[in-house]
């Protein structure tokens, strides 16, 4: 059996873990909102039409933070159309996803849903089609106690106290050519605009945090666009927003599970840009990261077109001017568009675990993270039911076991694998990687509780690996449990009728002797090893 050595030491400190590191993202795409969280005809619907089964499941997850209401969708949305009596609200076209937005679920409803599930709301402001005055009115409506037109209007609509919004996202993916009101061709202009709106937000609410919309999916102009825009607003924003959706060729498990290498490149380059600007501007202020959209999927081979540094992609009809049916879909809350949640569940759970461990290994700089599928794929639902997919378990475990802890950097030495370069389209491509560790790990120490949690995945496709964990620096600690999750059938997955096809179990064979843990990490498995100090 192949072997790997992993060393964890209390002095290998990275930084404190922000409780918002494993949050989620919400956008009204398809049946995510209408027919998902909102369905007044559902048996569990409350007086507002929200499904209590989903609310209860999110509360059980103990979701720390939620970024909403978009997403590409928000760049064409007028929040003022969505407040007040339902009969007076204005339906509008959603040019991001070619839908009709009825505004039945509006600003106040989004906020009340977030408050019901007891999560910290993080709000995205439309910087595509809306102006500075609209942004100022939104913050005033939401955060001012009273005495002004917009704050009193909020009270008239039934919310007497200000909404608990601390973090404001200033636009969404504004560098992208697909974005409504894109600033792709004017990064300096967008940086100035961001600076001015960040000033407004903080003048209205001096406790507010603001987030700059950085380059999404590290496109062809990364990092030049980032550097030019962020320089203009560096002193007025607190975070830079990153998004990435990792797509690997169908069946290419090695590239799919090498997701952390791709994220590492993106994160390290962004940190370098931020630190360069800190030096250039001669400021003590350090910029932090909000990685507030991420996911992983397999993709089919498409056409790779040349031009614009090889990154032009005109195959996406909803982002370009390719022929399409000139219609806009209206989603009926009672007509849920069921999706396939069963395919590749274990592999997706490992990929999401890899990303979350990457965030832990950068806990000194990444303070906010929002899994795009956190309350759609991990915590899954259709028009009738809610259940837990495979990704739910590492997501929930890391949420529970990392809060308030100190991230430690494990040293890993074991079997490696290589990946091949690929190009599925002009914008979905990746270079080759060599000597990628099959065992990937992260660790969190809780000093007050005297507890240590080690998270590991085995990315080897065919081999179980014997892991030798060197924990001799944690004198007096005892093994509490080894939780593992794996399946011998990668086509298997959880659903409402069969919710326990993939779930964690205890490995009773793992032992701690003389400060070393010997554990078998099964092929393509998720592992949590928890130790606590004897009292």
Q: Active-site residue numbers?
A: 173, 293
DSSP 28-44: --TTSTBTTTB-TTSTT
Count the Cβ atoms, other than its own, within 10 Å of residue 112.
15
Q: Are 210 and 170 in contact (CB under 8 A)?
A: yes
Helix axes 187-204, 224-233, angle to 10 degrees: 40
Phi, psi of 233 (to 5 degrees): -130, 15
Distance from chain centroid for Cα 44: 28
CA angle 72, 272, 406 (to 5 degrees): 85
- Which residues lie below 8 Å from residue 193, measured CB to CB, with a gap of 6+? 127, 132, 183
What would you measure as the largest C-alpha separation in the chain, in angstroms?
71
Q: How long, in residues, is the chain?
A: 535
Q: Are 76 and 130 in contact (CB under 8 A)?
A: no
Round to the nearest angstrom and report the end-to-end CA distance of the chain.
Answer: 36
Q: How far apart are CA 169 and CA 370, in angstroms?
A: 13
Q: How far apart are CA 345 and CA 61, in angstroms?
A: 19
CA torsion angle for 85, 171, 71, 130 (degrees, to 10)? 40
| Element (DSSP H or E) covering residue 110 | helix 107-116
Q: How far apart are CA 429 and CA 421, in angstroms?
A: 8
| Tokens linked to 467 | 């892991």
Distances (CA, A) of 72 to 26, 113, 243, 409: 11, 21, 12, 35
Q: 3-state DSSP call for residue 149?
A: helix
For 51, which DSSP code?
A: B
Phi, psi of 220 (to 5 degrees): -60, -25
Strand (E) positions, 327-448? Answer: 366-371, 379-381, 386-388, 406-408, 411-413, 416-417, 422-423, 429-430, 436-437, 439-446
Q: 3-state DSSP call for residue 188?
A: helix
């Amino acid at each position: 059996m192949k072997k790997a050595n992993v060393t964890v030491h209390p002095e290998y400190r990275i930084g404190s873990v922000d409780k918002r590191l494993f949050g989620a993202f919400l956008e009204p795409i398809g049946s995510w909102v209408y027919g998902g969280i909102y369905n007044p005809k559902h048996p569990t619907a409350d007086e507002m039409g929200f499904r209590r089964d989903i609310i209860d499941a999110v509360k059980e997850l103990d979701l720390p933070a939620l970024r909403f209401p978009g997403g590409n969708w928000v760049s064409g949305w007028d929040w003022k159309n969505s407040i007040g009596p339902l009969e007076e609200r204005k339906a509008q076209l959603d040019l991001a996803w070619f839908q009709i937005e009825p505004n039945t679920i509006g600003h106040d409803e989004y906020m009340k849903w977030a408050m019901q599930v007891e999560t910290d709301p993080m709000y995205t402001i439309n910087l595509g089609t809306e102006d500075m005055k609209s942004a100022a009115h939104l913050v005033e409506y939401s955060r001012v106690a009273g005495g002004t037109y917009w704050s009193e209007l909020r009270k008239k609509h039934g919310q007497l106290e200000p909404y608990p919004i601390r973090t404001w996202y200033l636009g969404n993916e504004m560098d992208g050519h697909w974005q409504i009101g894109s600033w792709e061709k004017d990064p300096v202009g967008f940086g100035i605009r961001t600076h001015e709106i960040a000033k407004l937000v903080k003048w209205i609410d001096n406790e507010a945090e603001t987030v700059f919309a950085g380059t999404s999916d590290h496109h062809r102009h990364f990092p030049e666009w980032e550097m030019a825009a962020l320089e203009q607003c560096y002193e007025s924003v607190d975070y830079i927003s990153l998004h990435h959706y990792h797509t690997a060729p169908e069946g290419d498990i090695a590239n799919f599970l090498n997701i952390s290498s791709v994220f590492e490149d993106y994160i390290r380059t962004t940190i370098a840009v931020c630190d360069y600007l800190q030096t250039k501007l001669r400021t003590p202020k350090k910029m932090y990261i909000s990685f507030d959209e991420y996911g992983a999927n397999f993709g089919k081979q498409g056409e790779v077109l040349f031009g614009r540094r090889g990154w032009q992609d005109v195959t996406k009809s909803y982002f370009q001017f390719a022929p399409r049916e000139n219609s806009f879909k209206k989603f009926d809350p009672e007509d849920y568009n069921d999706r396939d949640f069963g395919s590749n569940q274990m592999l997706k759970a490992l990929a999401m675990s890899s990303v979350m461990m990457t965030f832990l290994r950068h806990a000194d700089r990444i303070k906010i993270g929002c899994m795009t599928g956190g309350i759609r794929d991990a915590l899954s639902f259709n028009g009738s039911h809610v259940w837990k997919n495979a990704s739910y378990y590492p997501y929930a475990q890391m949420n529970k076991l990392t809060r308030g802890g100190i991230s430690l950097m494990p040293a890993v030495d074991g079997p490696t694998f290589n990946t091949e370069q690929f190009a599925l389209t002009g914008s979905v491509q990746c270079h080759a990687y060599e000597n990628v560790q099959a065992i990937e790990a992260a660790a969190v120490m809780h000093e007050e509780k005297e507890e240590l949690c080690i998270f590991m995945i085995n990315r080897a496709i065919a081999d179980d690996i014997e892991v030798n964990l060197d924990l001799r620096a944690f004198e007096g600690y005892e093994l509490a449990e080894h939780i593992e999750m794996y399946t011998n059938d990668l086509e298997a997955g959880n659903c409402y009728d069969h919710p326990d096809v993939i779930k964690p179990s205890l490995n009773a064979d793992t032992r701690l002797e003389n400060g070393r843990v010997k554990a078998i990490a099964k092929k393509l498995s998720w592992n949590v090893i928890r130790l606590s100090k004897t009292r």
